[in-house]
Amino acid sequence: MNGKVWLVGAGPGDPELLTLKAVKALNQAEIVMIDDLVNPEVLEHCPTARVIRVGKRGGCRSTPQEFIHRLMLRYARQGKCVVRLKGGDPCIFGRGSEEAEWLAERGIESELVNGITAGLAGATNCGIPLTLRGISRGVTLVTAHTQDDSSLNWQALAQTGTTLVVYMGVAKLADIREGLLAGGMSRAMPVAMIENASLPHQRECRSTLGQMQADAKAFELKSPAILVIGEVAAAAAVLPMARSA
């Protein structure tokens, strides 16, 4: 009898942001396949499980996706309870739906468990509301790193009128800046660049669209980081800082 694969979001890094459902899945796990950006502290919820590291990070040596697929399939066919533990949310730039579909095609049951995404947690920790009545009616989550390395339509995104939360954008700051400016976004548009969202060593750099590339260089901004672009990025006084007690 086949086992089950849980595709679990571990959240942005703060282990206290792990959901109860994620904890339940980890408690049952026999095999845990963990991404690089997952805080290892969450492994206290699966002390008897075998932990396999299957990191995938830009600019670093990564575990091939095909190998990850085969591992999940192998252990599930052995009847094991498998947790594929991902940073953030498995369905926000996390390949969760792709893996669930791949497993279903091979007769393996899976279940997706949401996690808090870094864009939300990082902004909240900086006192930034991603939506704010009278200022931002919506939020758009985008990744600057595409599978085929093609450029997004930043001009169109500039005209949405929503807060933009950009993942994996540190290496693409020049493209983002030029594309948004070409789309009519003001050079004075507030920008928050947030590194290591929700972790004790989270850092933030406040800037503007016109200045963000120079400020990021002076700040020595590094991945993992998210960008919040919109009027709300100047609204830090609206929310108290959401640091852990």
Choice among 72, 168, 189, 193 that is catalytic: 168
Q: How many residues would you count in the chain?
A: 245
C-alpha dist (Å) from residue 17 to 34, 62, 82, 199, 228: 17, 26, 21, 11, 20
φ, ψ for residue 204 (rounded to 5)?
A: -135, 145
* Whether 35 is catalytic: yes
Q: How far apart are CA 157 and CA 67, in angstroms?
A: 35
DSSP bridge pairs for 82: 5, 31
- The CA distance from 171 to 165, in Å, is 15
- Choosing from 35, 86, 172, 185, the catalytic residue is 35
> Could you report how far apart the first and last alpha carbons of the chain are, in Å?
45
Nearest Cα residue to 103 out of 178, 13, 7 = 7
Catalytic-labelled residue, pool 56, 80, 86, 172: 56
**How many other C-beta atoms can be found within 10 angstroms of the C-beta atom of residue 14?**
21
Question: In the annotation, is 14 catalytic?
Answer: no
Distances from the Cα of 135 to the Cαs of 6, 129, 222, 235, in angstroms? 38, 10, 29, 10
- Is 222 strand, coil or helix? coil
Q: Give residue 29's region: left, alpha or beta (phi > 0; psi -120 to 50).
A: beta
Joined together, the tokens standing for residue 233 give 């990025």
For residue 36, indicate whether it is catalytic. Answer: no
Positions marked catalytic: 35, 56, 168
